[in-house]
């Protein structure tokens, strides 16, 4: 499921985080003209940052995790793979995405340079 929001309250944000159905939610905070490579280099220009003092996704999974997830989404859009959420839990799915998309940072940057 894909959702687009221009704002979200705390209760809805908690529901999004706890959703059992695979969901990509884009919450527009502002419109900016970032170069796609800048967003990849600093994902929190685009994503909601962790709470103050909390560990980030990259703290847990490494700097390249957003590139790996981006590459997985690209492959999904092209029909080159299936959503891991269809047959495994979130933790196992994330580990598969990491395994299948090593070198994603370099490949994405190559694709974006046309």
pLDDT class for 26, splitting at 50, 70, 90? confident
Identify the domain containing residue 63 by its residue range.
32-112
Do 23 and 8 share a structural domain?
yes
Percent of the chain at pLDDT > 90 equals: 30
> Which among 6, 2, 28, 30 has a CA at the least distance from the CA of 16?
2
47 and 92 share a domain? yes
State the Cα–Cα distance between residues 1 and 78, nearest whole angstrom.
17
pTM, two decimal places: 0.68
What is the total count of domains within the chain? 2
Contact (Cβ atoms closer than 8 angstroms) between residue 105 and residue 40: yes
pLDDT at 47: 79
DSSP state of 102: T
- The single-letter DSSP state of residue 43 is G
Do 62 and 22 share a domain, yes or no?
no
Residues 50 and 62 in one domain: yes
50 and 104 both lie in a single domain: yes
Q: How far is CA 8 from CA 3, 16, 48, 62, 68, in A?
A: 11, 10, 12, 28, 27
Confidence at residue 68, expressed as pLDDT on a 0 to 100 scale: 95
Place 2 in a pLDDT band, splitting at 50, 70 and 90. low
Shared domain check, 20 and 41: no
pLDDT per residue as tens digits for the range 42-87 = 888 777 788 889 888 889 898 899 999 999 989 988 889 888 988 8
**CA-atom Rg of the chain in angstroms:** 15
Domain check: are 4 and 38 in the same one? no
């Amino acid at each position: 499921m894909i959702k687009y929001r221009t704002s979200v309250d705390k209760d809805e944000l908690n529901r999004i985080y706890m959703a059992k159905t695979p969901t990509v939610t884009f919450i527009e905070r502002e419109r900016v003209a970032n170069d796609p490579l800048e967003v990849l280099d600093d994902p929190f220009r685009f994503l909601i940052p962790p709470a103050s003092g909390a560990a980030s996704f990259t703290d847990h999974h490494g700097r390249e995790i957003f590139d790996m997830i981006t590459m997985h989404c690209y492959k999904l859009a092209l029909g080159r793979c299936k959503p891991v959420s269809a047959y495994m839990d979130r933790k196992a799915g994330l580990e598969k995405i990491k395994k299948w998309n090593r070198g994603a940072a370099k490949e994405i940057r190559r694709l974006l340079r046309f």
